[in-house]
Amino acid sequence: MSGWQVQPDQVRDFAGAVAEVRAHFQALRSDAEELMHPSNSPRMGTSPVGAGLSDKFNDRLGGVDGLLEQLGTALSRMDEFVESAEQTASRYVHDDVAAADTFRTT
C-alpha cells in the first residue's frame, strides 16, 4: 500500500502533546498579563529616554500585535487544532467500526 497511515491513537497522542504545549503558552500568557499590572510597569527613571523605554516595553507587551495578542492567537489556533484532531480520531474510529460491521455476519 502506498502513502502513509495514521492511527487514531497517534492523532490523540499528538493532540495531547499540543495540549501540553498550549498549557505552557497559557502560563507564559499569565506571566505576561501579570507584567501588564500597573504595579509591575518598568521603572526606568523620569528622563525622556527612560519614559520612552517604558512605553516601548508596554507597547510590545500589550499593544496591537504585542506579545499578549500573539500568545492569544497561538492559543486559539492550538485549541482549534486539538478540537479538530480529536474529532478526526473519533471519526476514524467510527468509520473503522462501521466498515468492520459490514463484514460481520449475524
Domains of the chain: 8-98 (1.10.287)
For residue 91, give the DSSP letter: H
90 sits in which H/E element: helix 67-103
Q: What is the pTM of this model?
A: 0.67
**Burial (Cβ within 10 Å: 0-12, 13-18, ≥19) of residue 15:** buried
- Note the pLDDT tens digit of each residue in 38-83: 788 778 888 999 888 888 888 888 877 888 899 999 999 988 988 8
Q: Greatest CA separation found in the chain? A: 86
Mean pLDDT computed over every residue of the chain: 84
Mean pLDDT for the stretch of residues 14-41? 87
Backbone Cα Rg of the chain = 23
